[in-house]
A and B are shown apart, each in its own frame.
Chain A
Amino acid sequence: MSTPRQWEEVRELFQAALELPPEAREALVRERTTDPVVADEVLSLLRVHPQAEGFLSSPADGGSLPGRARLVAGSRLGAFEIVGLIGAGGMGEVYRARDTRLDRTVAVKVLSSSLTGDPSGRERFEREARLVSQLNHPHICTLHDVGAATIDGDGVQFLVMELLEGETLAARLSRGPIPVEQALNHGLQIADALASAHAAGIVHRDVKPANIMLTKSGVKLLDFGLARLRARAGDDESDAVSSHSLTGHGLVLGTIAYMAPEQVRGADTDARTDLFAFGAVLYEMLTGRRAFSAASEPALVAAILEHQPPPPTRGQPLALPAVDHLVAACLAKDPGDRWQHAGDVVHALRSVIGQGTDSGQPQAALGGHGAAGGVPVRAVGRRWLLHAGWASVAAAVGLLVGTMRPTTAEPAAAVNPRPVVVLMDSPLPGRVYDARTLAAGGTNADDVSDALRDLQVLTFKENTSPIWHREEQVRAQNPDLVVSHLSCLLDQRFAIGNPSLYDHLFSVAESRLMGVFGYLATANPRVRFLVYSRGRVWPTPEAEATWTAGVVARFPQLRGRLFTMLVPGGAAATFRDPMIAEGLRTRIRQTLALP
């Protein structure tokens, strides 16, 4: 085992690595330690971490998601008595509960959105849910009931579902690819479930490994139609999702990674959207690798719109070449070029599985013409195709992505028709020295991103942590403009009674931030920087100019690229104030020469 000193290092590295996207973690560990014992221990823990996610009940942040109802064992939602928390995710929390009328154990999912005071939204929600509850398929998790309740004054909706025991496909995939035959069989069950739902006029719109459970009785597809239910539930769906999208964490990359091109563009989605996601899931089951992955959201979106992943057989040589064709036909960029019907995928999979067992003619059925089920059928406009409006998630991503569309085979980073704005938190030394300021949580980055909502820009938020400042992350966003604030919590936390400490902390924060800027400016000749502060830093416009001159003298690469904004109103100023928000928008429009 490790010595106490090694444990300290293990702990710090592990926690720092968790703040990065999974693909960047190993590199960080290798770079930050020379001790092989420490590196092995951290990497071993990182490998286990995804599986340990639901271990010992609630997830790491389940207890503190804002506005979320927390139900304790014994409390009731209508006829359902809560037994315990199973897990929590972006959509809400899932509880094990007892249905007191039917005396059976069920899963209750409490959605995190609010339905307060909107009876028509509630009706729509229940109508949609009723449709979904009619799905009766061995590989679809049954939706028993829906309801609404008030918890601590907040209106919540809840779904009552079949309780499943097993692990999610996402958890299974974190351990590597699935053997070919089993992967294809899982695929067959998922495709069959999709075919049945599509025939009933229901599109999933969020097919991904986290929504697929592996149980003793086979695969179960979860949350059918939930994306749509949520979209239909009325209010702020797009807000809810966009705030997720802006967190810059693996969560979102994970969600987008399985989206079809039409979905990330915010265009109409239909059953064929599910088939794209299905293809991405099958790809990952076979190869253990995501069909589309990238270090940043824009790059991932670009990959989905532009790139063809290498054929699955390259990652899984044991699969038949027919599988390549089958998957490629799922992952076609244009819905019209895909399989048109999940039933066709079922036939194709059966045929491949059949070939797998009698391995005489590996290439026959799907590669050639005319073989049964072998070629994707072009049949646009079948009766069951649902041309829904914006799906919830697609709508939000559409906001971000705007008019981005596939052009030619340019590299991902070059496809940014809208300027990219990255919002950074000031690397406050307060956060380094006093973890409690982090616990205080909310910075004004949320308000700033709200203020920028109407601008024709792509906005990303980067949280700066005490131990890892994410320069690389910000650099990978390929920003046109970085917006950051400089000091504000410091005034309240440290300045009282100790001005020299304040000055010291401030200069650490300032140096750190300018160092980051200098680095980004060198790496990306296009990027500009906007720093705002609430007056203490620049009591007068002259002080503002002097400050800028001083910084440019230290970091010449910032000359002409560093802009400041004095937020009027002192420490109490907030970007929720429409005047201040408009002031910021104006500055950004000017800086980026937006219309």
Chain B
Amino acid sequence: MGQGSDVTSLLVAWSNGEDAAGAPLMDAVHGELRRLARGFLRRERRDHSLPPTALVHDAYLKLVDQRRVRWRSRAHFLAVAAHVMRRLLVDHARARRAAKRGADVVLKLDGLDVPAATRPAGLLALDEALDRLALLDARQARVVELRFFGGLTVDETAAALEVAAITVKRDWAMARTWLYRELGGTVP
């Protein structure tokens, strides 16, 4: 429980505006998500999909003492985890592309139902497109990161970004459209 309470303290501090807690929090989440992902991959056969969003929520349950945090802190945690998950998945896709071991697919994104993103190239393209979107509209890019990589609901996303749910919905609709077009308008 030692680690769990540690992360909880970091999260509470960070939610209360202590920016210094952000980096260690990110590290802790990163470590746990990696561990969860590996464990999952060892247990499962390769045709089974790994929904990253489930890992993000799993990490929360494992790391955070829920009696000590409020709902908004949960959203903040998930936001951090979503960002970490994005990095993990992108790194993984890069490694896969470098290794060219397509048959050895271990990490799939089927749970997200984006055929384009199930392939490393698709995921990397999405990542790059998201960076371009962030230059135009940072909040829309964040919404996509939270919803897509973190599996946050509209309400959780709204809480994490501290905006209205309707804003999240509108941003989400537009960002999706923009990205869809940016990625060639077709989902292979």
B144 and A56 form a contact (CB under 8 A): yes
Looking at the complex, which of B24-32, B91-99, B111-119 is the stretch in contact with chain A?
B111-119
In the complex, the 9 A-B pairs of residues with the closest C-beta atoms, listed nearest first: A84-B111, A52-B180, A73-B51, A63-B154, A439-B164, A73-B54, A63-B153, A435-B164, A60-B173
A44: interface (CB < 8 Å): yes
Minimum CB–CB distance for B157 against chain A, Å: 8
A439 and B166 form a contact (CB under 8 A): yes
A49: interface (CB < 8 Å): yes
Count how many pairs of residues, one from A and one from B, have CB atoms less than 8 Å apart in the complex: 111
A83-B153 in contact given A56-B176, A56-B179, A73-B54 (Cβ < 8 Å): no
* Contact among A11, A44, A58 for B137, CB-based, below 8 A: A11
**1/0 per position for B44-74, CB-CB distance to A under 8 A?**
0000110101100100000000000000000
Within 8 A of A (CB), among B149-188: 151, 153-155, 158, 163-167, 169-170, 172-174, 176-181, 185, 187
B110 and A84 form a contact (CB under 8 A): yes
Minimum CB–CB distance for B107 against chain A, Å: 14
Interface residue count on the A side (C-beta < 8 Å): 40
A439 and B181 form a contact (CB under 8 A): no
A55 and B155 form a contact (CB under 8 A): no
A56 and B112 form a contact (CB under 8 A): yes
B111 and A73 form a contact (CB under 8 A): yes
- Cα A83 to Cα B49 with chains together (Å): 8
- B165 proximity list for chain A (CB < 8 A): 64, 439
Minimum CB–CB distance for A433 against chain B, Å: 12
A45 and B51 form a contact (CB under 8 A): no
B103: interface (CB < 8 Å): no
- B48 proximity list for chain A (CB < 8 A): 98
A243: interface (CB < 8 Å): no
- Cα A311 to Cα B167 with chains together (Å): 44
Can you name 27 A-B residue pairings with CB atoms under 8 Å?
Answer: A11-B174, A15-B174, A45-B174, A51-B180, A52-B180, A54-B113, A55-B176, A55-B180, A56-B114, A56-B148, A57-B112, A60-B170, A60-B173, A63-B153, A63-B155, A64-B153, A64-B169, A72-B57, A72-B151, A74-B51, A83-B110, A83-B111, A84-B51, A84-B112, A85-B113, A86-B113, A439-B165
B166 and A57 form a contact (CB under 8 A): no
- Chain B residue with the shortest CB-CB distance to A50: B177
- Cα A407 to Cα B110 with chains together (Å): 53
- A272 proximity list for chain B (CB < 8 A): none
Minimum CB–CB distance for B40 against chain A, Å: 11
- A167 proximity list for chain B (CB < 8 A): 187
- B110 proximity list for chain A (CB < 8 A): 83-84, 96
Main secondary structure of the interface of B (DSSP, over half): helix
A55 and B151 form a contact (CB under 8 A): no
B136: interface (CB < 8 Å): yes
- Cα A232 to Cα B158 with chains together (Å): 38
Minimum CB–CB distance for B7 against chain A, Å: 21
- Cα A54 to Cα B113 with chains together (Å): 9
A44 and B153 form a contact (CB under 8 A): no
B147: interface (CB < 8 Å): yes
B136 and A7 form a contact (CB under 8 A): yes
Minimum CB–CB distance for B125 against chain A, Å: 13
A504: interface (CB < 8 Å): no
- Cα A64 to Cα B155 with chains together (Å): 7
- B169 proximity list for chain A (CB < 8 A): 60-61, 64
A2 and B136 form a contact (CB under 8 A): yes
Minimum CB–CB distance for B161 against chain A, Å: 12
- Chain A residue with the shortest CB-CB distance to B152: A63
- Cα A270 to Cα B136 with chains together (Å): 53
Minimum CB–CB distance for B149 against chain A, Å: 10
Further 17 A-B residue pairs, CB within 8 A, beyond A58-B147, A83-B110? A52-B177, A54-B113, A55-B177, A55-B179, A56-B112, A56-B148, A57-B114, A60-B176, A73-B54, A73-B111, A74-B51, A83-B51, A84-B51, A86-B113, A96-B111, A96-B113, A439-B165
A70: interface (CB < 8 Å): yes
A438: interface (CB < 8 Å): yes
- Chain A residue with the shortest CB-CB distance to B163: A435
* Contact among B53, B154, B181 for A45, CB-based, below 8 A: B181
